[in-house]
Structure 1
Amino acid sequence: MSIHNTSISVFAPASIGNLSVGFDVLGLAVKPIDGTLLGDVVTVSATTAANSLTVKGEFAAKLPSKKEDNIVWSCLLIFNEQLLKAEQSPVFVALTLDKKMPVGSGLGSSACSVVAALVALNTFYAKYQGFSFAKNVLLKMTGQMEAKISGSIHYDNVAPCYLGGLQLMVPDENVISRLLPSFDDCFYVMAYPGISVSTKAARDVLPTEYSRSDLISFGQNLATFVDACHRQDKSQAFAVLTDVVAEPYRTDLLPRYQASRDYLTAQGALAVGISGSGPTLFCVCDSEQQAQKFALWLQDNYLQTALGFVHVCKVDNVGATEL
C-alpha cells in the first residue's frame, strides 16, 4: 500500500480530571452507554503537499481560526521535533480535527484533541514508516502540550484519555501514571450546562496556601480512596470522594451546581463532584435506572444553554482508539 493513499483516524474520549479527591493526580476516562462519541477525532492522511490542518465538527467554531493557534497543529510540530531527535524523517501530512467536545467544559476537551492528534500521528508512523514512540514517551508529549495550554504540566486528563480507565499520576517521569482498579459496575452521569469555564480562571480562584487540617483531609481522603479501589470497597471509596482543594472555591463559578449537588446527594447518589475545573457536573450511581432518573433531572435543572447535554456513562477502559 502506498503511503500517499493512507489515513489513520483516532478517537480520544472524555475524562473526569481530579475526580474530586485527587487534585491533578487522578483521572477517569468515561464513555456514554448509548455509543455517542464523547471526545475528539483526529485523522492523519499522507499528502505530497505541505502540512495542513482542517477543523470541523459541532464545536469547531469555538477554536482559533489560525492553524498556528490550534493545539493540534502544535502537536504536529512537537511530534516532528521528536521524530528528528529520534533520527526519523517527517513526511507531509494533512490533519483533520473533528471537534466533538465543547471547549472549557471540564471534560478534558484540550486533552482529547492532544491525545487524538499524537496517537493518530504515532499510529500513522507505526503503520506506514515502521517507527513509533513508546507509550511513556508519547504520554510525556501530551503532558508538554497540556502545560502549553494551561501553564503547568498535569496528566489527570491526558493519561486516562490516552490509556483508559482510572489513572493515578505518580512522581516518576518514566512511569507517569498507574492504572487503578475502577468500579466498572457504576454509572457516571455527566451534565455539561452549556457554559464555559477556562481552566486558567478556575485555577486562579484557588488559594496559594492551605491549612494543615485541609492537607491532612486531602491526604487521608486520597489514600483511603486508592486503598478502597484496590480492595474494591465501593461504599468506602465513594464515601471519601470529597474535594477540599478546589470545589469550595469554584462553586461560585458554577451556577446551579450547589443546589444540584445537594439534591442528588439527598436522593442517594454515591457521589457528586465537579469534573475537572468545571462546569460539567458528574454524579456516580449504583444502577442504570438511578442514572437515567438523575440524567432527566439534570437535563431540566442544570443545563443553561442549548449547547448543554447530559450523558449516562460508564468507565472507558480502552482510551484512545483507532477508528
Structure 2
Amino acid sequence: MKAVTAFAPATVANVSCGFDILGFAIGDMGDRVKVSLSDQPGLRVVSITGDGGRLPLEAEKNTCTVAIQAFLDRLNANQGLDISLMKGLPLGSGMGSSAASAAAALMAVNELMGTPFTKTELVPFAMEAERVACGAAHADNVAPSILGGFVLIRDYAPLDIVKLPVPEGLYTTLIHPHIELRTADSRSVLRRQISLQDAVVQSGNIAGLISALYTSDLKLLGRSLKDVIAEPYRALLIPGFYELREAIQKAGALGSGISGSGPTLFVLSESREIAAAVAKVSEEVYAKIGLGVDVSVAEVNPIGAYVIESV
C-alpha cells in the first residue's frame, strides 16, 4: 500500500448529563483523510478542502498531523507522510469536527502501517489532537468517532473506555444554527465548582441514561437527558435554545441537549417520523428569530471510523 483513505463520523459529546464522559457517533456525516507514503521525512498537510481556507497546514497545529505524530512516536517510527483532509463537517459546530479529522487520519495511517493498534488503542493519539484543538485532551468525541455507537469514558487516568448498547429505533435530529461557537469560549463560561445537590442530580441522570441504553427503556432515556452542570450556562450562548426545547417537546421528542460545546443541538426521538417532525418545528423556530439553520435526521452510527480505500 502507498496510500489509504479513511472516514470518521460526526459525534454528539456529553449527551446532556455526561459532561466529558459520554458521546455517540452520528449517521454518515463526517470527514475523510488520505494518508500517503512519502520519500521526504516529516509530516505534511498537502491539501485541505471544505474548510474555506481556515484550517492550519502546519503539522504542529493541524489535528490530523498531531494525531499521526503521536501514533508514530509510540512506534518510534519516522516515516514521511503526506496528508489530505476533506472536511465534511462545519468548524465550531459542536459535532466533533476536529475529532473526526483526527479519527479518520488515525484509521488511515494505522492501515497504512500494517494495523499495529486496535481501534481502542488509537483513542489516546486522537486525544492529543483534541488538546491542540481546544486545550483539553478529552475523549468523548474522538472515542465514539473511532469506535462508533455510544461510548462511556469511565476514567482518564488510566483511560478506561466502555462501549454501550444502542437501543433499536433511536433517531437523532441535529439542529445547527448558523453561528460558530469556539470550544474554548464555551468551556470558559462553566463553573469550576458545583454544589453537592447538583452533583447528586447529575449522577442520577447519568445512571438513568446508561441504564436506559442497556434496557432499551426510551422513556427513561428521555427523563435522564437533563444537565444541571454545563447546559444552564452554555444555553445562554445559543440563540433560540429555550424556544426550541419547548417546541420539540410538543413534537413528541424524548429529550434534547447541546451537542458538545454547541451551538449544534441534538434531539433524540423514538421514531423517524417524530425525528422528522422535530426537524420541521426546529426550522420554524429559527425562521421566526431570523437565523439560518441546518437540520438533519440520522440514526446512531454503530461502526465509527473505517477505511474507504487502500492503493
TM (norm. structure 2) is 0.91
User: In the alignment, which residue of structure 2 is the partner of 1:204?
Assistant: 188
Give a deviation string over 1:271-313, Cα, whole Å, max 9, x none.
111111100011111221222222133234337666x421101
One-letter amino acid of the counterpart of residue 322, structure 1:
V
Please report how far the alpha carbon of residue 60 of structure 1 lies from its aligned counterpart in structure 2 after TM superposition: 4.3
Contact 2:120 2:147 in 1 (8 A): no
2: CA distance, partners of 1:62 / 1:204: 23
1: CA distance, partners of 2:116 / 2:110: 6
Contact 2:153 2:162 in 1 (8 A): yes
User: In the alignment, which residue of structure 1 is the partner of 2:73?
Assistant: 81
User: In the alignment, which residue of structure 2 is the partner of 1:41?
Assistant: 32
**Mapping for residues 132-171 of structure 1, pairs under 5 Å:** 132-171=116-155
User: In the alignment, which residue of structure 1 is the partner of 2:178?
Assistant: 194
Please report how far the alpha carbon of residue 68 of structure 1 lies from its aligned counterpart in structure 2 after TM superposition: 4.0
User: In the alignment, which residue of structure 2 is the partner of 1:315?
Assistant: 300
Unaligned runs of 5+ in 1: 32-36
Give a deviation string over 1:159-197, Cα, whole Å, max 9, x none.
100000000111265662111112231110001112111
Provide closer, same or farther for how the CA distance between residues 174 and 10 of structure 1 changes in structure 2, counting only shifts above 3 A.
Answer: farther
Please report how far the alpha carbon of residue 270 of structure 1 lies from its aligned counterpart in structure 2 after TM superposition: 0.7
Contact 1:12 1:41 in 2 (8 A): yes
RMSD: 1.9
User: In the alignment, which residue of structure 2 is the partner of 1:223?
Assistant: 207
Give a deviation string over 1:115-140, Cα, whole Å, max 9, x none.
111121111101xxxx5123343211
- For residue 18 of structure 1, the aligned residue among 14, 19, 28 is 14
SS of residue matched to 1:21:
coil
2: CA distance, partners of 1:41 / 1:60: 16
- Are residues 1:115 and 2:111 paired? no
2: CA distance, partners of 1:59 / 1:312: 23
- For residue 246 of structure 2, the aligned residue among 262, 282, 303 is 262
Please report how far the alpha carbon of residue 215 of structure 1 lies from its aligned counterpart in structure 2 after TM superposition: 0.6
Provide closer, same or farther for how the CA distance between residues 297 and 266 of structure 1 changes in structure 2, counting only shifts above 3 A.
Answer: closer
Provide closer, same or farther for how the CA distance between residues 194 and 55 of structure 1 changes in structure 2, counting only shifts above 3 A.
Answer: farther
One-letter amino acid of the counterpart of residue 297, structure 1:
V
How many aligned positions are there?
A: 305
- Are residues 1:281 and 2:262 paired? no
2: CA distance, partners of 1:82 / 1:293: 48
1: CA distance, partners of 2:95 / 2:112: 26
Contact 1:60 1:99 in 2 (8 A): no
1: CA distance, partners of 2:11 / 2:197: 29
One-letter amino acid of the counterpart of residue 262, structure 1:
E
2: CA distance, partners of 1:150 / 1:201: 9
Contact 1:42 1:96 in 2 (8 A): yes
- Are residues 1:246 and 2:234 paired? no
Contact 2:186 2:234 in 1 (8 A): yes
Contact 1:40 1:100 in 2 (8 A): yes
Which structure shows the bigger proportion of residues in strand conformation? 2
Contact 2:64 2:129 in 1 (8 A): no
One-letter amino acid of the counterpart of residue 224, structure 2:
V
Please report how far the alpha carbon of residue 238 of structure 1 lies from its aligned counterpart in structure 2 after TM superposition: 1.3
One-letter amino acid of the counterpart of residue 316, structure 1:
N
Contact 2:45 2:58 in 1 (8 A): no
SS of residue matched to 1:170:
strand
Contact 1:191 1:302 in 2 (8 A): no
Unaligned runs of 5+ in 2: none
1: CA distance, partners of 2:229 / 2:187: 11
One-letter amino acid of the counterpart of residue 51, structure 2:
F
Provide closer, same or farther for how the CA distance between residues 91 and 57 of structure 1 changes in structure 2, counting only shifts above 3 A.
Answer: same
TM (norm. structure 1) is 0.88
Contact 2:134 2:184 in 1 (8 A): yes
1: CA distance, partners of 2:101 / 2:12: 15
2: CA distance, partners of 1:21 / 1:122: 33
Q: Which moved more, 1:274-283 or 1:66-75?
A: 66-75
2: CA distance, partners of 1:95 / 1:258: 42
One-letter amino acid of the counterpart of residue 130, structure 2:
E
2: CA distance, partners of 1:149 / 1:293: 35
**Mapping for residues 25-36 of structure 1, pairs under 5 Å:** 25-31=21-27
- Are residues 1:63 and 2:59 paired? no
- For residue 101 of structure 1, the aligned residue among 81, 89, 98 is 89
One-letter amino acid of the counterpart of residue 42, structure 1:
V
